Structures are given as C-alpha cells and as structure tokens.
Structure 1
Amino acid sequence: MKKSWLIHPFLLASAPILFLLAHNIGQVEASAALAPLGVVLSVTAVLLGLTWLVLRQLPRAAMLVSLLVGLFYVYGHVFHAIQDLDVIARTRDLHVGLGLVFLGVLVTGARYILRTRHDLMEPSRFLTLLAGISILFSANGIYQGVRTRAALAGERAPQARPSRVEHDDPALPDVYHIILDGYAREDVLKDVYQFDNSGFTQYLRDRGFFVADRSVSNYPLTFMSVASTLNMRYLDDVVARLDADSKDHTPFYDLIHDHAVGRFFQSKGYRYVHFNTNYGGTETSRIADQSYQFRHPLLQNEFTTVLLRTYLHWMPQPSVADLHLYMLDKLEEVPRIEGPTYTLFHLLMPHNPYVFDRHGNIRANIPLEYQWTLKTGGWAARQQYIEQMIYLNGRIQALIEHILATSKHPPIIIVHGDHGSASTHPGLQVLDKSKWGPFIHERTAILNAYYVPDEVRRHLYPSITPVNSFRLLLKHRFGANLEPLEDRSFITWYEKPFDIMEVTDQVLPAKASQAREQP
C-alpha cells in the first residue's frame, strides 16, 4: 500500500477548518486559521502515533483516527440540528443521549476496522480523495477572498508605525474614546421604549459634558460606523469597490485595526491603549502600544469563536457577562498609566445579548462563543434592552467619576453609540428601505457626549455626527489641519450591507444641522 494514501486523518482534521475559513474569509483574517490548524494537526499526529504503537499497523491506525476525527466534527453539527428542533429541553440530556449513539457508532466502526481482513486500501483512497477535494475547493475560496482583499487594500498602502516622540506639553490630557454599542438617543428611548433616560444625560451635563441631543450615526452597522469615526471620513470609496451583494467586512476591519485617530495621538507622544473585544473589528489592533485582553488572543477572535461554538460547545467557557465585567473593571486602571494615553474602549453593551438586569445581576449566563447567536430576545426584547442599559448607565457614571478623580490633568472623554437600537426593524418582509421610516429614525439616533476643553466645546453643536468628533477635537485642541465634513447619515442592513441609501434629509433637518451652541 502506498503510504501517501494514509494522510487522510490529517486531511479530514484540516478540511472543516479550511471550509469555515473559506466561507468567512470576508470577515476574518486568513491567519486566524493557523492556530486551530496547528492544534488539530498536532492532536491528530499524537492520536495516530499512539494508535500505531498499540496496533503496529499503520493502515488500521489511520482509519481509526479518521473515524475519531469524523465523529468529533459531526457531533457538533448533529447536536445543533437536534437542539434547533427543540425536542429535548435539557442540554445535558441531549448530550447523554447523543453521546451514547456516537459511542455505539465508534465501537461498531472500530470493531470492523480491527477485525476486517481487507487491507483498507479502497476506503483510505476514498477518504483521502474526498478530503483532498474539499480542501482544494476551500483553498480556492480562501485564495479568491485574499486576492480581493488585497486589491481593495491596494490604495491604502501599509503605513509605518509612527515613531514615539517626546511631548512638549506637560499637561497633555488623557483621551478616552468610549463606544457603547447600540446606545440609542434619549428621545428614541422615550418614544419607542417609553423609557426616560434624562437622569443619565442630565448627569453628563452636570459633570460638564456637552450632550449632542440631535446626533445621529453616520452608518448603521458597527464595522462601517467605527471605521468612519476612527478615520474621520466617509467610506464611499471603500463601498464603491465592493459588489452590492458582498458581505466582506475586512476592508473596514483593516481601517479599524490601523486607524488615523490612533496614529495621530501616537505621533504626539501618546500611548495608545486598546481594549480587545470579541468582535472582529475591535478584537485586536495592529498599532496599539498596550492592549487589555480578556483571554488568549488565539481564543478571543471571531473565527475561533465559531469553531468553539460548533465543535467544543460542551466545554466550560467564559461568559459574555464575564467579558463585559472585565472590560469595565480594567478601564479603571488606565488613569494610572504613566504619560498621556489615548484609549479605545468599545463595549458591546447595551447591545444584545441581554445578560444583566438593572441591578447588575446576571440574568443570562451566555457562553462567549454564543455572543452573536443567542440574542435573548434580540432587539425586540425592549424591556431587557432597557434593563441592561440602566445597569450600564450606573457603571459608566462610576467610571467617569473615577477617571475625573484620578486623572493628573483634566481628561478628554467622548462617549457615544456606534448606532442606535433596532426594535422597529421591519424584517425581510419590507425590502424597500424608503419604507423603513420608524426604523431609520431609531437606528440612526445615538447617544453622543463630549467632555472636552472650552476651545473645543464652543465648536460643538447638537447634531454633530461621529465623523466630525475627532476632526474638531484634533483641530482645536491639538492644532491639526482638519476641517469639519458635512454631517451625513446612511441606512442599510446586514443582508446587503453595501446597498446603501442616504437618509441625511430625514434624520438631520437643516435647522438642527446648522445649530451651534454658543460658548
């Protein structure tokens, strides 16, 4: 027997990971698959070696390992399929029942492999060819995705990391950029949710914040909104290069991982502090000087999250609440860092899943791997959204008090939503965006508040949008040659994210956009 046909355990171990990568290449880095591949290939090699030591027959050892690998990957899919049918209430009962079935298959298959008089040449060839063909198709998809991404990034050549410079201003303020995911504006909370959030916004005003109470997001999806804010520009050129049916997030992730605001502050001698999230756009930074990481980077990324959710969901995992609490607690450490800091803090709250009640009690213990699948009611669960927001308000107030009390110099704090909520989204029944009236208003209206020096504050206005936040700050506090852009707002949704409609006239009436607060 040609031993080349006996590589099927390694091919079978690799194929599902490469398949997943190929189908998500628009949302993850290709390099995200390297660590999982290394792990599964190493485990496969160990299993094959141990099995061979026992059997001293490589063909049978390889077939046994392939059986184990196949059952391992199939188990997760079968489990989720049965779970979706909702025929077995308790997850534990499902695991027990399904485990017994798979154990029976394993024993039956192993008995055949060990007792058969055939040399196993034909099944080895079949498995090798099957897995090899799957890998070739996946490799082509990965190649096409990487090539498309490289073409889109062609106009944005990699920039050298700015050299750290000695700052000549001994009173440079720490800058805190706090993005609260899905935080709706006060009037929307009152009209749509019947919730009065004036206690929080009045607290901000009392502490010296300018609250832009007519502010809207520039884009309704996080990956676009954050990329636009951090690069102080609109994304028309990026969207224009993407097919209308594309769902490729990576050009926008690139703009978040390496952004103009962070580079500017580094050029002024600032230390860029980044809080890594479980969301692809902000899960890491290519240019940060210091990162807060909830768990190992190989585990805290979207690609590994999907792998764990699919194949290792039965293992104990940290929860969504754990990540939120870690970030909120760790932000208190930043004022103690020596020298001026710019901190990017993207907190995935009050966005669903709703894991806290108003008192901070954990109401839903959702594993981190399920953050984007278990929505605990989704946007339609309005009361749960408000409960989580009430808890968040208290934590943000406490953080602001801590930052103000422990900062050596008066800090700069920008707190805003990347987009609003979405409880009025019409769903796929209404594809015509021109008929999305209530949803457009709800989704674009955001919290947007600034704790800034007077020389910046006098240029703020009620309808300022995030694309201009750092343009005004950097111009009037740090002397950057930047002029404000026209405030614009767009609407789209995840099914076709690059089929975009401008809604500026609907959400930014002329009178509001022209208003200015006097110093």
Structure 2
Amino acid sequence: ENATASCDTCAKPSVYFILLDEYFGSKGLKEYFNYDNSCFENKLKQNGFTIITNTKSNYHYTVFSMASILSMDYIKDMGEQTVYNQYGYYKATLGIRQNEVCKIFEKQGYDIVNYSDFDMEGHPAGQGYHLLPSGQALISNRTMYYQVKKNLPYFLARYAKFTGMANELAERYIEINEQRLNKTLEEAKPNTQKPSFTYLHLNMPHVPYAYDSSGNKVLAKWFGNLTLKQKDEMYLQYLIYTNKKIAGFIDSLQTKTDHKAIIILLSDHGYREALNKTLALAHENFFAVYEPQSKGAFQKDSITSVNTFRILLNDLFKENLPLVKDSLVLK
C-alpha cells in the first residue's frame, strides 16, 4: 500500500509512539502474576488516555512484532519466529527499514525522530545499542557463526557468570533508556511549526531488570542461571518501577506539548516467560492512546498491534486503509 497525497485540510498534531519492550498487558499480569495493574491504568485515564482492554500482539518476538506494527501487515513467508531464522529476521528488519508508517508521515509533512535500535530509511537508529545485526551487516553475515561472534559479549553476559561484563551491559541499557527519555522531552514542544512522528523504544521492563519497585538498583542479580520464580519476581518489580517512570514521563511530555500531541503507549509483546504456560499468554500486551481531538477511533472491542497505525492514519489523514484480520502468530 502506497502513501496517498498529503491531506491539506487535516489537523496534523505531533505523534509520539512509545514502545515498552516486553510489557505485560493487564490481563496477562492478572492471569500470570495475579497482579492488578489498575493503579497505572487509572493514572493514564486521568491524563486523558483510552485504555484498550482487549489487545494482543501478533508476534511474541520484538523484531517481528515491530515489523508488523510499522508495516501495518503480517510478515509473509517468514518461517519460524526466532532470531536464529536468518531469512525471517532479515525480512523483518527490512520491513522496519522500509516501513509504510514513516513513509505516510513524511508524505504528510512530518519530521521523523527515531529513538530505537532499528535503522529506518533516512533515519538511522538513535541513542541505541545494536544487540542484533541488521541491514547490510545481516546480509553479509550469512552464517550463524558470524551472528554469534558479533553478539558474543551479549550472550556471555546474559547466560554466563561474567559479573563485570553483565553489569557493564546493564548499565548501558539504563543509560540508553535515560538518554532516549531525556532527548524526547528536550525536543518536545507545542505544535507551532512542523509536526513530528517520534518512535521512542524503551527496553523496559525487558531484561536487564535494573530496578526494584522502590527504585533500588538490582543489576547484580539479573544475569546467570535464574530460576523462573526469581525471573518472575524481578520482572514484576521492574514493571512496577516502569509504571512510575512512565507516569512521570507522560506528565512531562503532555506539559511540554500543551496536551496537543497524540501519544501511543504500546508494548511489542507480553512477558516472554509466559510462553512456558501458554503461547497465547505471551501475546497479552499493553495498549493505551491519548488523542486530544478524540473521534473515538480506538473505541473498539478488540485490537491487535498490526492495526494500530491503520486506525490512526485513517483517523488523522483520511487514509482508506482497510483493517487486516486480527490473528496471533504462535509458531
């Protein structure tokens, strides 16, 4: 689907797409942890957000989920949903690089701000640390040997007891998240001139589980052979911390934009360890939207992530994008 002509009569507010990596949706939190996330949801509602309660991610792996969200479609003939599927991974990163969402926003006169780990045409990854190869690197690294060699520090830190390396990597993750949050706020402003589309990807509450719910650093505990019970506890603690961090960030962002910007708060998938219980449970993601001039576009019974921008772009620019069928890619 190609971007249509610019809509000269449409209001063009800035749009902030905030991606919380591996954030479990409220249904998943309740089922898996018996945790009630209504405090965070109520805070967002007080800020004018709509919470989409029946939401699911189409994929349970970040790169595939982001490709489908930004391409507004499923990845055709990708094979198994794993990073070790080099062909599927390449198709996903290519889909992100050439995504339709940014093309449409650019056609409508928007600046594109990319604070993610993924390169996009004309907008390289910003404030990021590439854990996985993409673009030309992936094309040239045809064998698993090169992938493992390139990413060995990450795998060593994640799965072996190299304390110094693990702590260094974890500190880098924290630094990247903070940089991205701060840069987004620094550049946020009321829509007085050219609008922008900002993709802000936060590795929260994804590993490393940097903080407990009170904001104490717990870096030394995140690596090595954790039991599932330990992972569950650290994940939930970090999610509660993330709630507090994001609530404060949303307050600041809305203030700096005079409450005129659209904000999409979405997770790419749910808690990955929930795959051990049922595949579908790991697709329970989080989805909230702030639209200052709400027309009720997101007031739907259920939405999966692939339709996020089809709904928004139809609402904003009168794009006639049909919704695709909601389904989960479990394999």
State the 1:379 CA deviation.
8.3
Counterpart mapping for 1:319-398 below 5 A: 319-336=172-189, 339-364=194-219, 381-398=231-248
| Residues 291 and 327 of structure 1: CA distance in aligned 2, closer, same or farther (over 3 Å) | same
* 1:365-395 superposed Cα distances (whole Å, 9 cap, x missing partner): 59xxxx9x75866786111111111111111
| Residues 205 and 423 of structure 1: CA distance in aligned 2, closer, same or farther (over 3 Å) | same
State the 1:287 CA deviation.
2.7
| Residues 234 and 291 of structure 1: CA distance in aligned 2, closer, same or farther (over 3 Å) | closer
Kept after mapping to 2: 8 A contact 1:356/1:364: yes
| Residues 167 and 401 of structure 1: CA distance in aligned 2, closer, same or farther (over 3 Å) | farther
> 1:360 aligns to what SS in structure 2?
coil
| Residues 460 and 310 of structure 1: CA distance in aligned 2, closer, same or farther (over 3 Å) | closer
Kept after mapping to 2: 8 A contact 1:273/1:291: no
**Rg: which structure is higher?**
1
Counterpart mapping for 1:139-288 below 5 A: 168=8, 172-235=12-75, 237-239=76-78, 246-248=85-87, 249-277=89-117, 282=118, 284-288=119-123
Structure 2: runs of 5+ lacking an equivalent: 134-148
Cα RMSD (Å): 3.5
| Residues 480 and 190 of structure 1: CA distance in aligned 2, closer, same or farther (over 3 Å) | same
Kept after mapping to 1: 8 A contact 2:297/2:312: no
| Residues 220 and 310 of structure 1: CA distance in aligned 2, closer, same or farther (over 3 Å) | closer
- Matched residue, 1:306: 151
Partner AA of 1:357 in structure 2: D
Alpha-carbon distance between aligned partners in 1 of 2:297 and 2:153, rounded to the nearest angstrom: 50
Partner AA of 1:334 in structure 2: E
Structure 1: runs of 5+ lacking an equivalent: 1-155, 427-437, 493-519
Kept after mapping to 2: 8 A contact 1:321/1:362: no
Partner AA of 1:425 in structure 2: L
Show structure 1 runs of 4+ deviating over 4 A. Answer: 165-171, 240-243, 307-318, 373-380, 453-456
Deviates more, 1:454-463 or 1:179-188: 454-463
Kept after mapping to 2: 8 A contact 1:321/1:365: no
Alpha-carbon distance between aligned partners in 2 of 1:310 and 1:409, rounded to the nearest angstrom: 42
Of 284, 294, 315 in structure 2, the residue corresponding to residue 445 of structure 1 is 284
Partner AA of 1:178 in structure 2: I
Kept after mapping to 1: 8 A contact 2:61/2:81: no
* 1:281-322 superposed Cα distances (whole Å, 9 cap, x missing partner): x2x32232x86325xxxx745359625558998787653222
* 1:171-219 superposed Cα distances (whole Å, 9 cap, x missing partner): 5211011111111111221221122211001112222211111111111
Alpha-carbon distance between aligned partners in 1 of 2:314 and 2:10, rounded to the nearest angstrom: 19
| Residues 407 and 180 of structure 1: CA distance in aligned 2, closer, same or farther (over 3 Å) | same
| Residues 449 and 309 of structure 1: CA distance in aligned 2, closer, same or farther (over 3 Å) | closer
Alpha-carbon distance between aligned partners in 2 of 1:417 and 1:242, rounded to the nearest angstrom: 18
Instruction: Give the structure, 1 or 2, with the largest relative contact order (CA under 8 Å, sep 6 or more).
Output: 2
Partner AA of 2:316 in structure 1: R
Alpha-carbon distance between aligned partners in 2 of 1:419 and 1:310, rounded to the nearest angstrom: 22
1:479 equivalent to 2:295? Answer no
Kept after mapping to 2: 8 A contact 1:352/1:378: no
Partner AA of 1:323 in structure 2: I
Kept after mapping to 1: 8 A contact 2:185/2:256: no
Alpha-carbon distance between aligned partners in 1 of 2:98 and 2:245, rounded to the nearest angstrom: 29
Kept after mapping to 1: 8 A contact 2:14/2:261: yes
Percentage of matched positions with identical amino acids = 27
State the 1:252 CA deviation.
0.3
| Residues 309 and 481 of structure 1: CA distance in aligned 2, closer, same or farther (over 3 Å) | closer
Alpha-carbon distance between aligned partners in 2 of 1:310 and 1:261, rounded to the nearest angstrom: 32
State the 1:339 CA deviation.
2.1
Alpha-carbon distance between aligned partners in 1 of 2:285 and 2:297, rounded to the nearest angstrom: 21
Alpha-carbon distance between aligned partners in 1 of 2:154 and 2:108, rounded to the nearest angstrom: 42
Partner AA of 2:151 in structure 1: V
Partner AA of 2:182 in structure 1: D
Q: Which has the higher helix share?
A: 1
* 1:117-161 superposed Cα distances (whole Å, 9 cap, x missing partner): xxxxxxxxxxxxxxxxxxxxxxxxxxxxxxxxxxxxxxx9xx9xx
State the 1:353 CA deviation.
2.0
Of 425, 436, 445 in structure 1, the residue corresponding to residue 275 of structure 2 is 425
Give the TM-score normalised by the residue count of structure 1. 0.52
* 1:316-340 superposed Cα distances (whole Å, 9 cap, x missing partner): 7653222222222222123149621
Alpha-carbon distance between aligned partners in 2 of 1:213 and 1:339, rounded to the nearest angstrom: 33
State the 1:457 CA deviation.
2.1
Alpha-carbon distance between aligned partners in 2 of 1:375 and 1:169, rounded to the nearest angstrom: 57
Kept after mapping to 2: 8 A contact 1:320/1:365: no
Partner AA of 1:479 in structure 2: K
State the 1:232 CA deviation.
0.8
Partner AA of 2:127 in structure 1: Q
